[in-house]
Structure 1
């Protein structure tokens, strides 16, 4: 072995030692819940061919990623606040626009798609937590057919879901009869007084923790109550606060999540060179997906803690201790399935036929006006890597709030002050620094904490490297970590300089290939444009309000039926000016075409 190779391996061992011991422990025995039938009427759906078989679909829906909302049996038996109907009842979940599903071995509680069973690695207790399928699976309805689209953005209302969940737990604590029904189902008929007391105390603790999370992510009082609503969420804001407020144990160390976005579609995500709407994260093979997915779990109830290491560990160089409920192997499996997901094709067996004469004309117009930012990828090349377009926000003129909040929010760094932002490289944290760097630091810490485990999970996700060879060694893995952190650090330094003058001159939004775009309304990064036809209107002529939450598909305008829904999305605030975060201006490409030409472009986009 060469001297250089020995030094490299010794350095890698030192990195692992500095972060902490392996997360591999002997877990307590698993006691899985009994299969409990779904509540409410079952829903019959049809599927499109997106490269997944039935087993892969169910695995994607219910594979745990380490999120913990409340204990699993509690969620199975919790009643709604204002009735005896169970919280998980299909009518209730459908109202929240999550997707009810029958009970099975993979889904013993009969919960909606994306609500997975997590067996806590330390205690062995079963929890329910969201997995990526909850936010990236959707259903289109058309003339009585319910069509499931894998990887499509949900219409779910996460904020309303969480509000109603907390209300249900509070009412269960307050109403003795409701609590007794809940306790009987959770503990059994032979429950003891001590068990009842312990359950009530525990319910109080979990409810308080949930209410604290809700308060940390609460919007300013001058924002409308339904600002976030259906089909969008400020994921960056939630992830930031998971790091700054919760991981660092200071609930006041937070920023308000005022930049909600439409959930991105998943097909093509694995293949892109960068991810996130603002192109902030390099998608380095092996490492990129792992970091991206751990960050996602942290934002949806995957606990993250960053603590000072015990004194005896600090003596040999370990400064901080990182811990989380994230299931890294589960993430590896989930990414391996996402990697093979294909975009949905316009289903001719259910939707009106495409006018091929119009579409042919639209193809030429699309190439002239759209393809510079949204390249056309042939269906046979969908699973190959591609370079995503990045366009300056100053050129796009779309709402800048998402990008600004993601990059420029600030927070106290507390115990991280003076340590490297990305643990191995980067500037050291100031007393107050960019908020997003704190959860990023935590995610990197979790990867470095157990490199062999991360390597194993990464290989499951990637299978092989770009050269067709499986990445198998720690040295190669370390090189990928270094490349990923360096790329991210360069981007962060540019943005941090921008943030100082408040203009975010280098801020960008990412333009993806539009394969399957017909199944992903509403449009623009913030979901402020209802359908493809509206997107081609000149910005000042776009609708300034429309109904959201309807599943009924509109095959003409290509989006949902906006004449009905569950919430009225309003672009403007009460003063008649665009509400920050809701603007539908900008992205004026193709808007000067004639109406005939615009309809041709719309027809062509149905074929993508």
Structure 2
């Protein structure tokens, strides 16, 4: 008896084959659309108000280095044990009550919404008049309360956590999103979640040198070592220790027009404001192919002549008048616009401040940086290796504490003392203004359960040595000088 085909099974079998083929086709289409959509649809969230654009507008960091919106939103809910407190604000990110994202985070839709960083993450801070006052948000000042290293470490640790799976993450996303549509569910389950995890693991492995550095603390960043790891693929485990630590304070970014042509960055390694801007954009996650030039230019145009905020408290004009004379005779040649040495580099042997930031920027780094944006009219060409630190103009200096390039001296008044008489330890991240010494109050370690960062000047990269100018003045003259600098 010969074997015969059962006619009742054939349609079901064929139907199953077609179903599987259809699933594969749909999957291929979904993947193709996901990767081709950046070409077809690239929609950043824009803001009519320029200050809101600075705080929340995109500069092009989302397409490659952005995190899918709902993953970014759910990470603090799924991994609360990886943060020092509740949510991203526990890392010092500033959340305004009427906004969805913290300041410094932008959103762009590339098939799905993605979250990236922008200029404001490093250049917006807060200020309080007293411990009981409301926090005032001030754009273009150094991000004095933001713990960027903490954010880097958070993303690195969640990427390798076994809870970072679609099965664990999607229910949490559904809970806070109100429900994804079927296509979004498929994209998040099979593409967004696994690819984000892979990207975070890869980024964490490249940035693992951060674990070897002394903690940055709020208001500080290592500008160029992440470049070496992510942009240039340097073998970070083989770098010398003095090259591996480049931590410095965030600068202010107001009043850029008179800075054009000065030696910029702490070590004066570039004289072009435009190149400096594009370099900073790379540090925020932009790539040469995703940089959003029109939106960056909009920010640059606003900052070009943006004045620093005026000191809002009482100034003793009599004492300040004496201080102005002292400033002109002791400080203006290096720190006033138009000064003979303003914006020029002082050799490290003379300035005597901590050398780590200078040593971290090497000739090899410079050579690689000047290859960035190859093929574009704005290819970098102005980066140079220097032998010291640049004299910075002091406009708005009252908001730029702590002081020196590495933020190792809490107040201007402390800076006028010799290094052995400057504070060996103090607290960073506290935003109550110090009206007497100028800077921020630095002796508060805990407030309402919040722990502030203890800065230790004995750790590598944290030395408060050098810059002895003015330290031999009489006490009365030092006080007068500080009183005048409130007005800069």
- Superposition TM-score, scaled by structure 2 size: 0.79
| Matching residue of 1:342 | 307
Distance (Å, rounded) in 1 between the aligned partners of 2:269 and 2:289: 23
Alignment correspondent of 2:268: 279
Q: 2:93 aligns with which of 98, 116, 122?
A: 98
Which SS does the other structure have where 1:282 is aligned?
coil
Match of 1:126 among 113, 134, 154: 113
Alpha-carbon offset, residue 253 of structure 1: 8.6
Structure-2 change in CA distance of 1:153 and 1:116 (3 Å): same
Deviation per CA, 1:304-348: give whole Å up to 9, x if none.
xxxxxxxxxxxxxxxxxxx5222122211111111121111101x
Unaligned runs of 5+ in 2: 1-36, 446-451
Secondary structure at the aligned position of 1:279 is classed as coil
1:403 corresponds, among 322, 334, 358, to 358
Please tell me whether residue 163 in structure 1 is matched to residue 43 in structure 2: no
Aligned to 2:200: 210
Q: Do the aligned residues in 1 keep the contact of 2:78 with 2:172 (CA within 8 Å)?
A: no
Residues 387-408 of structure 1, C-alpha deviation per residue, up to 9 Å, x if partnerless? 6232112110011111111124
Match of 2:54 in 1: 60
Cα deviations by residue, 1:30-49 (Å, 9 ceiling, x for unpaired): 5678x9xxxxxxxxxxxxxx
Give the superposed CA RMSD: 3.3
TM-fit CA distance, 1:548: 0.8
CA distance in 2, matches of 1:341, 1:113: 19
State the shift of 1:570 in Å. Answer: 0.3
Give the Cα separation in 2 of the matches to 1:208 and 1:253. Answer: 24
Match in the other structure for 1:512: 392
**Of the candidates 549, 554, 557, which is equivalent to residue 434 of structure 2?**
554
1:536-563 deviation digits (Å, cap 9, x = unpaired): 1111211111111111111111111212
User: What does 1:558-597 align with in structure 2 at a 5 Å threshold?
Assistant: 558-565=438-445, 566-572=452-458, 579-597=459-477
Aligned to 1:372: 333
Taking CA–CA contacts closer than 8 Å with sequence separation of 6 or more, which of the two structures ends up with the larger relative contact order?
1
Aligned residues: 433
Q: Identify the residue that residue 152 of structure 1 maps to in structure 2.
A: 141
Q: Where does structure 1 lack aligned partners over 5 or more consecutive residues?
A: 1-24, 36-52, 105-109, 304-322, 379-385, 409-433, 455-480, 496-505, 573-578
Residue 28 (1) aligns with residue 17 (2): no
**Structure 1, residues 211-231: CA drift from partner, whole Å, max 9, x if none?**
33233223376644xx21211
Is the 2:320–2:483 contact (alpha carbons within 8 Å) kept by the matching residues of 1? Answer: yes
The 2-side partners of 1:136 and 1:159 are apart by 15
Q: Structure 1-normalised TM-score?
A: 0.65
Residues 173, 179 of structure 1: 8 Å contact kept: no
- 2:73 corresponds, among 66, 72, 76, to 76
After superposing the two structures, state which structure 1 stretch, 196-205 or 541-550, moved more. Answer: 196-205
Partner of 1:233: 221
**CA distance in structure 1 between the partners assigned to 2:248 and 2:270 by the alignment:** 17
- Separation (CA, whole Å) in 1 of partners of 2:140 and 2:198: 33
Distance 2:68 2:244 in 1: 26
Match of 1:260 in 2: 247
Greater Rg, structure 1 or structure 2? Answer: 2
CA drift of 1:252 comes to: 7.2
Q: Secondary structure at the match of 2:127?
A: strand
1:327 corresponds to 2:324: no
1-side partners of 2:142 and 2:404: how far apart?
Answer: 13
